Chain A
Amino acid sequence: DAGVTQSPTHLIKTRGQQVTLRCSPKSGHDTVSWYQQALGQGPQFIFQYYEEEERQRGNFPDRFSGHQFPNYSSELNVNALLLGDSALYLCASSSEGWDGEQYFGPGTRLTVT
């Protein structure tokens, strides 16, 4: 079992550009959550997808959007990048059978210049 995988591992973008990050959940999981972690801070919840719908959302602007595919994989899109969007973006998966655990991937390090 590969666990949660994310791509790419690192990414450099310019202010104003758009970026797409990808996540494949742990086998058997149907729920995907995205988090943003700035340097020295704890992860901040962006949103969660379940059954291809956004089920919950944290306090992030509409520039952050996402999608979940029928195979439960997910994308995070960020438009009009700002310098402050530089962070580690983490994906976590869980299942409706829920054992209390969210499995996190290694993250994508986004640098906006």
Chain B
Amino acid sequence: DAKTTQPPSMDCAEGRAANLPCNHSTISGNEYVYWYRQIHSQGPQYIIHGLKNNETNEMASLIITEDRKSSTLILPHATLRDTAVYYCIVGMYSGGGADGLTFGKGTHLIIQP
């Protein structure tokens, strides 16, 4: 079973910041938080990942609480192309390439024009 809890759906206005929450209260010390998204009929796309510190890349920012029990993915300026299902995943890295991921049902983010 997935180790994360996400709202099933969210709306956001185009051009505004989209903030997607995720609860992972049972996360262990060596588990990472990953975010992927899946646009309809395509394979999932990696967004960002982190262990303890906040992370930022060209797509998004990841804010992890100090106790690591929750996190927020931030898309700073949402566009219509950001409409997708967003998955928050907790998992380990044990070497030899990223471990198999346990996906939940994710959050369906709808960007409104």
Please report A residues at the B interface, Cβ cutoff 8 Å.
4, 29-31, 33, 35, 41-45, 47-48, 50-51, 55-56, 58, 90, 92-96, 98, 100-107
Contact = CB atoms under 8 A, between A and B. Distances in A.
A92 B91 CA distance: 16
B97 A107 contact: no
Given A31-B97, A42-B87, A50-B97, A100 B46 contact: yes
A55 B42 CA distance: 26
A29 B87 contact: no
A102 B101 contact: yes
B100 to A, nearest CB: 4
A39 to B, nearest CB: 11
B97 A100 contact: no
A105 B104 CA distance: 19
Given A42-B103, A51-B96, A58-B100, A104 B32 contact: no
B97 A30 contact: yes
A56 B99 contact: yes
B42, B49, B99: most-surrounded residue (chain A CB, <10 A): B99
A102 B87 contact: no
B93 A104 contact: no
B105 A94 contact: no
Interface in B65-113: 85, 87, 93, 95-106
Given A35-B103, A90-B44, A96-B95, 12 more contacts: A42-B104, A42-B105, A45-B102, A56-B99, A94-B97, A94-B98, A96-B97, A98-B97, A102-B98, A102-B101, A106-B42, A106-B43
